[in-house]
Structure formats: C-alpha cells, structure tokens
Amino acid sequence: MKDILSELSPQFVFKNFESLTRIPRGSGNEKAVSDFLVGFAKENNLEVIQDDVLNVIIKKPGTPGYEFSKGVILQGHMDIVCVKKEDFEFDFEKDVIPLVIDGDMIRTKGTTLGADNGIAVAMIMAILEAKDLPHPPLTALVTVAEETGMDGVLNLNGANVEGKTLINIDSEEEGIFLASCAGGVNNIVNLPIKWSKVKGNKNAYEITVCGLLGGHSGIEINKNRASAIKLMGRFLQLLNDQIGIDIANIRGGEKMNAIPKLTKAIVLIEDGKFDELQNLINEYIKLFSREFAISDPNVTITLEKKDNVEKIFSLETKNNLINILMLLPFGVQTMSANIKGLVESSNNIGVLETKDNNIVFTSAVRSSVKSLKDEINNRVKALCELSGATMELVADYPEWEYKVDSPIRDLMLKVYKDMYNEEAKIDAIHAGLECGFLKEKVGDIDMVSIGPNVYDVHTPEEHLSISSTKSLYEFLCEVLKQSK
C-alpha cells in the first residue's frame, strides 16, 4: 500500500498516524490497535502493560540527567468516531481510511479522519521512539472507548500509571491550553411501543430530514446547528395536526456525541392527501432553511414511497413520541458566568432508534457544574413520567475543575511565548476529557490538555492541519526538554 503521508514532517509523527488509519479502531473495536501499540512498545524495548479492557500503558525511563525528574504522563485515546457520508461506500470494520493531502490539510474522501485522537497517539509514539530527545521519565497512557463513555479510563488501574504531571493531547486548537472540562452522562430514554394494525386505505412514505452539518456535540453545540431529530419532531407534530398521520418507524443520528444530521420516519396518510403532504414538506424546507440559513444552509426534507407496512404505533405511543421529540432538551442550556463564551451545560439527543417494542433516545448530557447536569436529567425524568417512558443514566464521568496553581501550565505558557512570540490562551472546554477520571484514578496530578488544529471532528469533513501538527509536536518536545 502506498504511503500517502511519507513526505510530511515530522516524519515519525505522520508515519505513525498513517499506520493508525490502516487499523479499524471504532469504539468497541480496539483489539487490533491495542495489540499494535503493544507490539510497537516491544519493538522499542519499552515496558508495556495491556490491561483487561485493552488500555495500553508504555513506560520509558528519563534520559541522562533527567532520571530523577518528576515523571510526565502523556495521554490520548485510541478509538475514533466512525461516521461517513450517506452515499460513500465504506466499512469501518475492515476498510482503510482514504487519506487525502489538500494543501495544509489532511482529509478523507468521505469518512471521519480519526485525528481525534489518532494524532495524539502518533505524537506519543514518536516521542517514545525518539533517540535524541531529552525528557523526564515518561508514562504513555492510551485508552479505549473514550468516545462512547470513557469506559477505558473508568476501568483503569491507577497504580499502573506513574507521574506527577499529565499532558492530555485530546484538544483541537493550537495555542489554547485547556485547564478544565465538562462532566457528562449518557441519558437513555425508553418509550414502550404499543402496536396497532393499519386500518383503512392509507399510503406509507419515508420522510427524511437531511443535509445538516452535524458536528461534535460538545465543542460545536454553541454553533446553532440544527438537530435532525428535533426538526423531525417539529415536522411530525405539524403533519399530525394538519393532515393526521400514523407512524410506523423512526430512527436518526449515528453517535451519542455527534449532533444528528439525518433522521428518517415512516408515516402513513389517508389516500388523497399526498398533495397536502408534499405542500407541507415544501413549506417546511423553506422554514428550516430560513431558520438555519447560516448554520445549516443545506437542510432539506425528502419523501419516498414505502410498501408492505403492516403495523403502526398506537395513538398513545404516537402522541407520546411526538411530545418527547418536542420537549426533550437539546442544545445549550446554560452559559458560564465565570468564563466568557463557555457553554456551561447542554444536551445532545445523539441517537434515536425503533427497537422491537421500544423507541430509544440516547442523549449526551454535559455540564461543568454537577448540579446543572443533574437538573437536566431531572427534567428528562419528569418528561418520562408524563409520557410513560423510563430513563437510565450510564457512563457518568466527572468534570475537571480548574486548578489555580499549575506548574505545567506556567511552563507551557513560557515555552509557547519563547518559541512563537505569542501568548497562549488558558481556556476550558464544554466537552468530556478523560482528565476528570484521571485525577480520581492517579491522584492530585497537575494537568493540561493541548492539541493541534483539528476541524469538524465527528463528521466526514474532519481535517487536520499539517503545519499545526508540526508546531504542536515541536512545542511538546520542548516542554519535555524543560521539564527537568
């Protein structure tokens, strides 16, 4: 197979990144990449631990003169979000991610790139295999299942991880050092389905709300991007009020932590009402296009005839479904009063499925204030009680609170200024990082999260800046040199 990135610098970083793109590593499918990292460590004669959940921990002694310096933990995650364009034929279980160099950017032909968080793993590997880089004792921690609830770090044995300082490489904007992040939980709502038989002379159609941009449900939740699931709810309520509909199936979204960009519903209408349906579709395409002219300019609604629909949701189930779609929180819920422009709490309805006898809503609830996270969940619980649904919370992870005194943050600010003659920015992020769990697992360690410029993560438009990757890697190496 031809190497696409072989001419890029730093050579070892991009070599490692390309190797990672050739290994299927969607969340829950990390065995191959975990074994690859173990093999890498052994090839470089480094101590390695692969734990029961496939997290990989690699240790490298400090170089001469740094043997007794405070240990540094370099951390990232090996799994990726697997999302592709609707018309792109690709199997994340076996196909190689199709890399494309486009000026200063690395892109793909229609899938997520996996720079979140493969570029961190590639940088860590390059540092571990470097022969001429002065550094303190290093522990590389590469976790699994970060994208689907942080199960890897949740099951980590902290005794295997040594160090007083931790550098997380899972942020996506160069020159911004993150010092705090939101906590979160997966909120799963189950609405039981009561089924009914189709009665009368009715025609079935599949309605699709599509053309949306989607995006990362933490980092991009403040961009006013539409949710295909919420738009479908509005449209189904309109249809039910205007022409009367039955509903036989509904599904939307792909990942809990991605803003849903497509939703489909199979509806039935009485014979003779097709023109009304088409007119309402045209009306709402215009309405949604006006509302989201900037954030989602290509939003649309399509219609396709369906045959052999024999059962539908009962009247009670249909009404409860529409009510939940209308009232389930989505988007920014509160803004921080302490950090200007920071989303404090939010909810993203990431996946909607019709499963056997249940309609399942899976949401990502985030907040940097635990009580506000609880408040959102309590609102959802109240909605469930009114609609006959149930709610379950899974994969709860803690927030990472800002630390006033941080030697690693101070060092990074100095190094960045010295190298680039620019002031770096200290910030917080409305997304889940593993830092909160790591503080619980490893102890009161000094932490910062950094990363190169990565754009449109969790979407098929994800792309990585080549020049920013080079700058960030050189900066990280210099920070290690000065961590004596």
Question: Which residues belong to the active site?
Answer: 79, 146
Are the CB atoms for 84 and 98 separated by under 8 Å?
Answer: no
Angle, alpha carbons 121-90-21 (nearest 5°): 15
**CA pair distance 207, 468, nearest whole angstrom:** 42
Q: Which residues pair with 75 in a beta bridge?
A: 141, 168
**CA pair distance 321, 233, nearest whole angstrom:** 8
Helix (H, G, I), strand (E, B) or coil at 142: strand
Which amino acid does the sequence have at 172? E
* C-alpha 440 chain-centroid distance: 22
**CA pair distance 22, 98, nearest whole angstrom:** 9
Residue 152 contacts by C-beta under 8 Å, 6 or more apart in sequence? 53, 54, 55, 77, 79, 143, 144, 145, 146
Residue 207 contacts by C-beta under 8 Å, 6 or more apart in sequence? 232, 235, 264, 265, 266, 267, 281, 301, 302, 303
* C-alpha 192 chain-centroid distance: 28
Q: Which residues pair with 250 in a beta bridge?
A: 265
**Exposure b/e, 318-355, CB count within 10 A at least 16 = b:** bebbbbbbeebbbbbbeebeebeebbbbbbbbbbbebe
CB atoms within 10 A of CB 316: 14
Are the CB atoms for 345 and 366 separated by under 8 Å?
Answer: yes
